[in-house]
Homo-oligomer: A and B are copies of this chain.
Amino acid sequence: MASLTNLFEDIPPSSPEELFQALITTNTFKLERILSFGQASPDGFWYDQPLAEWVVLLKGSATLQIEGESQIRYLSPGDILYLPAHQRHRVESTSSTEPTVWLALHYKS
C-alpha cells in the first residue's frame, strides 16, 4: 500500500469494520490512522493496551469512557486524549453520519 499523501484521502463512505492504517512503525512507536463508521466497542469490552497512546480526533465525533471517570467524554475535531499504558477505556460511539478520522500514536512511555 502506498503511503498516504493526505490524511483525509482514501476514506470510504462506510465500512462494516473500523479501518487501521499504519503510517510509521519503529521499534518504539507506531503512528496510525483509524477510521470509524459508527462502530463502538462491544458491550463489556475495554481496551487495555501495553503502550501509551496519544490520540487526536480530526473529523467526525465520538464518545469515550475512561475507566474510573463518572462522565463520558465527548470528542470533537481537534480533541486530544492521552491514555497511559493500561488505562482502560472504551469507545461508546462514533458518528453515524460521517466517517470519524483519528490519528493515534502508540508508544513506549
Mark A residues whose CB is within 8 Å of B.
Answer: 3-9, 23-24, 26-29, 31, 54, 56, 58, 76-80, 82, 103, 105, 107-109
Across the interface, A78 reaches (CB within 8 A) one of B9, B24, B28, namely B9
Across the interface, A107 reaches (CB within 8 A) one of B6, B26, B108, namely B26
| Given A6-B80, A78-B9; A54-B107 close (CB under 8 Å) | no
Taking CB atoms, residues of chain B closer than 8 Å to A80 are 3-7, 23
Write the nearest CB–CB distance from A52 to chain B, whole angstroms.
Answer: 9
Write the nearest CB–CB distance from A35 to chain B, whole angstroms.
Answer: 13
Write the nearest CB–CB distance from A41 to chain B, whole angstroms.
Answer: 22
